[in-house]
Structures are given as C-alpha cells and as structure tokens.
C-alpha cells in the first residue's frame, strides 16, 4: 500500500519528511537528532562527492583525513572559534574505563586539528599554497533537527588552505564559492545567489564569510554552502610561520570552505512536488531514457 504524501500547500515540513521516508532516502536513528542515510539517499551523496571531488582536484587540492577526536585545548586557542562552537560541542571525558586527563571534543569542524598539523608541515614559502580537503563526518549538538538539513551528526567536505598573501587567500575563498555555485546550478539544477555574510552570521574565527543561498518552494532561503577567509587568526593562534623569499618569518593567510548532506535537502525542496521526489539527471542514481518508437 502506497502511503499518502502530505500536500506541500497543507504542511511543507510534513511534505518534506514524507518524501524522505517514502522515497527511502533516510530514517530516524535511535539517537535523538541523528539520522540513518539509506542506500538510495547515500547514492545521491556519492554523486555529489564525485562531482565536487573532481572539481577540487582540478584546482590543485588534495584529500587527507584528520582525527575525529580533538584535544579541548586546541578548541580553546582561538577565542571567537571557541565562543561560537561551545554550545554545540560534544565532549568525551571517559575512555578505557578511566577519566581522561584532558577532555576530547568530537569534531565539530577541523580548523584546530588541521592547523596544529600545518604548523609542523609549513616552514617555507615553497610549502605554500597548501591546499587540503577532507571528506568526513562532524558532530554539532543541535537542539532542533530536520533530516538532512540540520542533524547532530552529518557528512560533509571541509577544505583548508594556507597562502603566502591575503590576496591569494581571498582569491581561493571566492574560487571555491564559484565551484559551489557552479555545482548547484549545473549539477543540482538549483539557482543560487552568491553573497557575503554579515558580521553576526560570520563563521566563528573568520574575517569574512561568503555563502550561496537557494530559494526553496516554501519561499525560504537555504544556505547551501560557505567559504571563509580566516585571515591570520588561526595561523597566529597555532604559531604557523614560514620564511618568505627575503627569509623573513610570516604568518600565512588561510581559508576554509564546505558543503554537507544539506545539499540533498536542498534538492528535495527545490525539485520535489506533490507527486513525490524529483531529482536532477546529473545526480539521480537511476537514469531513464524514453525512446519513442513510431510505426
């Protein structure tokens, strides 16, 4: 028996949840605020990954992986960063049957752990630019959650780069915003507006945050991706220094940028209707070709 889909005009939120469950994209997990991504939903994410990963590599970025657990002292090093993320942090205080000497933060984002490593890897201007991307999961303890759009654990990619000059970092942040915009419009078939966030909406620890915003069928805008200029905030906090061409020590300028499984929610709300799920051809797991045959 086919379940009835709540009409979009009657209750948009219920329509959205109905589509996800009836199309078997995701389901609720026993842990409040988290979700299970089912095979059909995950195959859409794989298509997103494949498209974007190719673009990242074409622009010189390399994939790496960093730990899920981050020492709490790392989070504390950048004042705005810790203030911005404190309400959402999940902490590990006991492991192996013992209380840990230092609590570990379950990765909410990786600026701190990656910059700890950058301080070891970056010594000379010849080491720059350093262009790293990570495909990972992150945990932010959200109080109000919705499947794909806002969950306590979600999948994403996060790019982290270091540059010799501020202008190079600005160019990088805008380049990645353009890649996100091109993906949204060319692959996801969703029009977006590129812009800059206000100081109140800026990423914690950034000097400037750019975003792409998409209009959904409930006439609300959805933030679909962000790109941040971090200035020298993290490079100073983590004592990252390189010798420039005149052999003077400098702090690099940095960026970070990311999109998440929220993109699947965007696609559902931009293309779905009262008949159900509609997917853009470039991301649809199943492709159908109709060939008319005339006598």
Long-range CB pairs of 203-207 (<8 Å, 24+ gap) are: 203/84, 203/228, 203/256, 204/80, 204/81, 204/82, 204/83, 204/84, 204/85, 205/78, 205/80, 205/81, 205/84, 205/111, 205/230, 205/233, 205/234, 206/230, 206/231, 206/233, 206/256, 207/231, 207/233
> In the chain, what are the domain boundaries?
12-271
Identify which has the larger pLDDT, 117 or 141.
Answer: 117
Which pLDDT belongs to residue 143? 82
Which pLDDT belongs to residue 1? 43
Q: Could you report the per-residue pLDDT of 40-62, keeping only the tens digit for each?
A: 999 999 999 999 999 999 999 99
Phi-psi region of 30 (alpha: psi -120 to 50; beta: other; left: phi over 0): alpha
Q: Read off the pTM.
A: 0.93
Average pLDDT over residues 180-199: 97
Quickly state the pLDDT bin for 295 (edges 50, 70, 90): confident
Among 144-153, 242-251, 282-291, whose mean pLDDT is lowest?
282-291
Which pLDDT belongs to residue 78? 67
Tokens of 126: 């010849």
Look at the block and give the residue holding tokens 């005149």: 246
Which pLDDT belongs to residue 294? 84
pLDDT at 76 over 90: no
pLDDT at 196 over 50: yes
Which pLDDT belongs to residue 58? 98
Handedness of CA 16, 22, 26, 31 (dihedral sign): positive
CA pair distance 19, 40, nearest whole angstrom = 13
Q: Could you report the per-residue pLDDT of 212-230, keeping only the tens digit for each?
A: 999 999 999 999 999 999 9
Among the four given CATH numbers 3.30.70.120, 3.30.70.890, 3.40.50.10320, 3.30.930.10, the one describing domain 12-271: 3.30.930.10
Which pLDDT belongs to residue 87? 80
Which pLDDT belongs to residue 287? 77
């Amino acid at each position: 028996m086919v379940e009835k889909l709540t009409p979009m005009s009657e209750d948009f939120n219920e329509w959205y949840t109905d589509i996800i469950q009836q199309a078997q994209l995701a389901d609720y997990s026993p842990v409040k605020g988290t979700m299970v991504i089912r095979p059909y939903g995950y195959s859409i994410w794989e298509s997103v990954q494949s498209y974007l990963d190719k673009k990242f590599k074409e622009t010189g970025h390399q994939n790496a992986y960093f730990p899920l657990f981050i020492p709490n002292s790392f989070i504390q090093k950048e004042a705005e960063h810790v203030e911005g993320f404190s309400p959402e942090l999940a902490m590990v205080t006991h492991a192996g049957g013992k209380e840990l000497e230092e609590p570990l933060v379950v990765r909410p984002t990786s600026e701190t752990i990656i910059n700890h490593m950058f301080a070891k890897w970056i010594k000379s201007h010849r080491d720059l630019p350093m262009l790293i991307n990570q495909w990972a999961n992150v945990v932010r303890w959200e109080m109000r959650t919705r499947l794909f759009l806002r969950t306590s654990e979600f999948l994403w990619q996060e790019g982290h780069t270091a540059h010799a000059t501020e202008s190079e970092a600005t160019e990088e942040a805008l380049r990645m915003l353009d890649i996100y915009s091109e993906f949204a419009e060319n692959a996801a078939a969703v029009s977006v507006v590129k812009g800059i966030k206000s100081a109140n909406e800026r990423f914690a620890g950034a000097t400037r945050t750019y975003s792409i915003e998409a209009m959904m069928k409930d006439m609300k805008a959805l933030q679909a991706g962000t790109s941040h200029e971090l200035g020298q905030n993290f490079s100073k906090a983590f004592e990252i220094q390189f010798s420039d061409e005149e052999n003077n020590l400098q702090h690099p300028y940095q960026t970070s940028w990311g999109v998440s499984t929220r993109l699947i929610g965007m696609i559902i709300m931009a293309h779905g209707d009262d008949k159900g799920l509609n997917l853009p051809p470039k991301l649809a797991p199943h492709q159908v070709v109709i060939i008319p045959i005339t006598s």
